[in-house]
Amino acid sequence: MAMQKLKGKYWFVTIIVFTAITLLASYTIPSESPLAFVRYIFGFVFVSFIPGYCLLRLLFSKDKEVDIIEGIVLSIALSFSIAGVVGLFLGLTSIGLNFTSVTASLALVVLFLALLAFKRAN
């Protein structure tokens, strides 16, 4: 079984929609709301899996296949690395580390990596 489960445009559209839903949930659901768990679940998946998955799609083209377990582990490890680098750069700039800067920067990185991976695959 290969990591390339979502073929064609479907994985790209899924990443875009998930990013939009995560940003929408993060900015519209208050922390005191009973629906705050939705915000936390989407945020956790967004930080811990999505950036690494996009980078994995960029690094491994159609010819190379990654097993599902390897893909999940690599996606999680790469995601935490990307989030750490984004946090490091934001901490060193005048922008600073706050909720808005981290979510916006991580969303831009995810969209950029997804777009590069989509262009490379097609």
Q: In sequence order, what are the beta bridge partners of 2?
A: 67
Average pLDDT rounded to a whole number, residues 97-119 = 94
Phi, psi of 39 (to 5 degrees): -60, -45
Tell the burial category of 95 from Cβ atoms under 10 Å away from its Cβ (0-12, 13-18, 19+).
middle
What does the pLDDT look like over 18-74, one tens digit per residue? 999 999 999 999 989 899 999 999 999 999 999 999 999 898 866 677 888 998 999
pLDDT recorded at residue 73: 95
Residue pair 112/102 in contact by the 8 Å Cβ criterion: no
Would the pLDDT of 1 be above 50? Answer: no
Residue, of 4 and 70, whose pLDDT is higher: 70
pLDDT recorded at residue 63: 66
Non-local CB neighbours of 92 within 8 Å, separated by 6+ positions: none
- How far from chain centre, in Å, is Cα 100? 16
Residue pair 97/105 in contact by the 8 Å Cβ criterion: no
From CA 31, how far away is CA 114, in angstroms rounded?
29
Would the pLDDT of 11 be above 70? Answer: yes
